[in-house]
Amino acid sequence: MNELEEIKNKIDIVEYVGKYVQLKQSGRNFKGLCPFHSEKTPSFMVSPEKQIWHCFGCNEGGDVISFVEKIEGLTFPEAVKELAAQAGVKLSQNFSERKEPTDKYYAINELACAYYEKALFKPEAKQALDYLKKRGLDDKTIKDFRLGFSPAQGEVVVKELTALGYTKEDLVKAGVANAKNDRVIDQFRNRLMFPITNVQGKTIGFSARVLDDTLPKYINTPETLIYHKSNILFGLDKAKEQARKQDHLVLVEGNMDMIFSYQAGVKNVAASSGTALTESQLDLIKRFTKNIKIAFDVDLAGQNATKRAIELAQDKGFNIKVIEVPEGKDPADLVKNDPDKWIKTCKKAKYVVDYIFDSTFSKYDITNILDKKRATKELLGTISRLPDPVEKEHYLQILAQRIGISLQALTDALRKAKSTTNSKTKKTEALTEKVEEKKTKPISLEEHVMSLLFVAPNYADFFFNKLKPEDFVDPRLVSFAKDLNQLSIDRGEIDLEKWLRKQSKENQEYVNVLTLRIEDEFEEINDESLGEEIFSSVLRLRHNAYEDAKKKLIGQLQEAEKSGDKETLKKTMNELQSLIEQERNI
């Protein structure tokens, strides 16, 4: 057994995938909502017997290694190394020492991080360390988050790392240095350093804060091969396990908000680092939970960011609550003054629709008809996005009471607004449907028939009594049929597992996906009904084969008639009549 097989044998794919997807047993397999695309009806399947996963919505699939690659955004070697560590499998030297093109950029950022950490406790960094202490961070938090300091001299990190063998070009590509006026200098100088890590906890960049009133207040690592700002949430690597256990993530705006919350004991927290929340960031969160509590700043920019985040998260199917910070400008201020109050505030998070209603009515004077119209328009937009009709009716009634108009008038207004929106989005939806059709290829009749043979090989005699391998059109299925027919003749039974082991990897994956699909389709069917399905499907395929043969003969008849070839005409007519008679007798 090679090391990859050993890893897959030691790691239960259902248990592993279950960390990211809520799975429910479905016959012999498990089913859940796909973590790789938005869906309301589960089409994501995991087979404990085959140790594979497949989504019939987006056609992604594979083994546990490919799942880790996709869910964690890792390369194949990185995924293997991570799983090997979890499974206790020792990799061969050649594999464990295998290098990826980006490995050196991770190494450079890690070395820079270690340098900044040490620099924070040198005399020249006194102002930076004093700032952290004054803000209220304790030694453990400073250490846990590996906070650091970048010296004011222009080439300290460059000299440190080039002495270790890295080129200046590597340092620029890793984001720790900057090429300027024919010189390569440190990217960060005289700043408080916040290491930015990916979901696996690897250092991929930095957020650097000034210690005076210089602008910009923060600068981040530029985009590199390993750092993409829109794909990162600060602190998610530390928060993910708690987010999974508590089944929700607290989302704050700034790095310090995240760090203070973590220090106060609310550890299922991550920060958007002052940027607008992105779809990629929400996809990251969805790996661990579909419930979020948003706690952005209470200033105007923070309120606008909250509104955008809510709309985006709703479209992604998240359950949303909003944390209203009762005092101070941000969570960090609240934690510094009263950590327990922050914990209580998080627990009292307000359901998103209630929050939107309250914030809308707080900014409009509904005794003024123009403000009343604006508030109504905004809140009808919110209500129209609600998928549940009971919830929609509930908030329509509340709105009617608050603004003093009839429920019927609001219902009519909502219907009119929805009609306008629908007409605008019909083309978009049609395009989306076309894309989905391309992504999800429907199973053909001959694939369906072959799948039935895979799950019920005991019906092989019936299959090959009614069907010939040539009745299949797909060359791969013709080959399968020939193999399985011969096995049935030679041994009287089909050992599907033994046959499958001799197939190519591509064929194995194809067979597994077909089998998984048919097992899902006939999860609750009994043996008698399965037999009926096999009978009807085989006959349909056989009739299709006869139809194709008859069309071919009819074409030959027409050609013979045109050319006046009486001999061919007679011969072809006899063949057609014989074919029709055979079809009647199947």
pLDDT tens digits for 554-573? 777 778 777 877 788 778 77
**574 and 470 inside one domain:** yes
Instruction: Please give the pLDDT value at position 524.
Output: 60
Name the percent of the chain lying above pLDDT 70.
Answer: 89
Which residues form the domain of 114? 103-225
Instruction: Please give the pLDDT value at position 38.
Output: 75
Question: How far from 298 is each of 338, 382, 539, CA to CA, in Å?
Answer: 18, 20, 68
Domain CATH for 207: 3.90.980.10
Q: Of residues 305 and 315, which shows the higher confidence score?
A: 315
3-state secondary structure 40-56: CCCCEEEECCCCEEEEC
Cβ partners under 8 Å of residue 119, min gap 6: 125, 148, 149, 150, 151
Instruction: Please give the pLDDT value at position 427.
Output: 44
Q: How far apart, in whole angstroms, are the C-alpha atoms of residue 4 and residue 172?
A: 36
Q: Mean pLDDT across the stretch 224-231?
A: 89
Instruction: Please give the pLDDT value at position 579.
Output: 62
- Ranges of H-type helices in 18-155: 64-72, 76-87, 93-96, 103-119, 126-135, 139-144
Cβ partners under 8 Å of residue 206, min gap 6: 109, 112, 113, 116, 175, 176, 187, 188, 193, 194, 195, 196, 220, 221
- Ranges of H-type helices in 456-526: 460-466, 475-491, 496-501, 505-521
Q: Which of 317, 335, 358 is the last residue of a domain?
A: 358
Instruction: Please give the pLDDT value at position 582.
Output: 64
Instruction: Please give the pLDDT value at position 96.
Output: 61
**430 and 508 inside one domain:** no
**501 and 480 inside one domain:** yes
Chain-centroid distance of CA 216 in Å reads 34
**89 and 34 inside one domain:** yes
- Model pLDDT for residues 468-508, shown as the tens digit of each residue: 888 888 899 999 999 998 988 888 788 888 898 888 888 98
Cβ partners under 8 Å of residue 91, min gap 6: 3, 80, 81, 84
**403 and 481 inside one domain:** no
**83 and 141 inside one domain:** no
Q: Mean pLDDT across the stretch 445-454?
A: 87
What token pair was written down for 122? 């040198």
3-state secondary structure 292-326: EEEECCCCHHHHHHHHHHHHHHHHCCCEEEECCCC
Question: What radius of gyration do the chain's Cα atoms show?
Answer: 32
pLDDT at 429 over 60: no
Q: Give the model's confidence band at 584: pLDDT under 50 very low, under 70 low, under 90 confident, else very high.
A: low
Q: Calculate the average pLDDT of the chain.
A: 85
- Model pLDDT for residues 46-74, shown as the tens digit of each residue: 998 888 999 988 888 999 999 998 888 77
Q: Mean pLDDT across the stretch 420-436?
A: 44
**413 and 427 inside one domain:** yes
Domain total in the chain:
5
3-state SS class at 252: strand
Q: Mean pLDDT across the stretch 162-189?
A: 93
Domain CATH for 281: 3.40.1360.10
**186 and 247 inside one domain:** no
Q: Mean pLDDT across the stretch 109-130?
A: 96
Instruction: Please give the pLDDT value at position 342.
Output: 92
- Ranges of H-type helices in 136-167: 139-144, 156-162
Query: 178: part of which helix (H) or strand (E)?
Result: strand 177-180
What token pair was written down for 97? 């020492």
3-state secondary structure 370-439: HHHHHHHHHHHHHHHCCCCHHHHHHHHHHHHHHHCCCHHHHHHHHHHHHHHHHHHHHHHHHHHHHHHHHH
What token pair was written down for 492? 């009287």
pLDDT at 140 over 80: yes
What token pair was written down for 229? 């700002």
Partnered with residue 351 across adjacent β-strands are: 321
152-156, 177-181, 191-195: range with highest mean pLDDT: 191-195
**Are 457 and 494 within 8 A, CB to CB?**
yes
**172 and 249 inside one domain:** no
Instruction: Please give the pLDDT value at position 58.
Output: 86
Q: Mean pLDDT across the stretch 447-476?
A: 86
Which stretch of 12-21, 98-107, 351-360, 471-480 has the lowest confidence by average pLDDT? 98-107
Domain CATH for 69: 3.90.580.10
Q: What phi and psi values does residue 25 have, to the nearest 5 degrees?
A: -65, 135
pLDDT at 435 over 70: no
Q: Mean pLDDT across the stretch 207-227?
A: 90
Domain CATH for 433: 1.20.50
Q: Give the model's confidence band at 432: pLDDT under 50 very low, under 70 low, under 90 confident, else very high.
A: very low
Q: Give me the residue label for tokens 């076309």.
A: 434
What token pair was written down for 243? 């987010």
**11 and 76 inside one domain:** yes
**184 and 305 inside one domain:** no
Instruction: Please give the pLDDT value at position 298.
Output: 58
Q: Which of 439, 464, 484 is the last residue of a domain?
A: 439
**279 and 237 inside one domain:** yes
pTM here is: 0.68
**Are 89 and 100 within 8 A, CB to CB?**
no
**Are 270 and 251 within 8 A, CB to CB?**
yes
Q: Mean pLDDT across the stretch 413-426?
A: 61
Q: Which of 175, 193, 225 is the last residue of a domain?
A: 225
**Are 467 and 542 within 8 A, CB to CB?**
yes
- Model pLDDT for residues 524-564, shown as the tens digit of each residue: 656 777 777 888 888 888 777 777 777 787 777 778 777 87
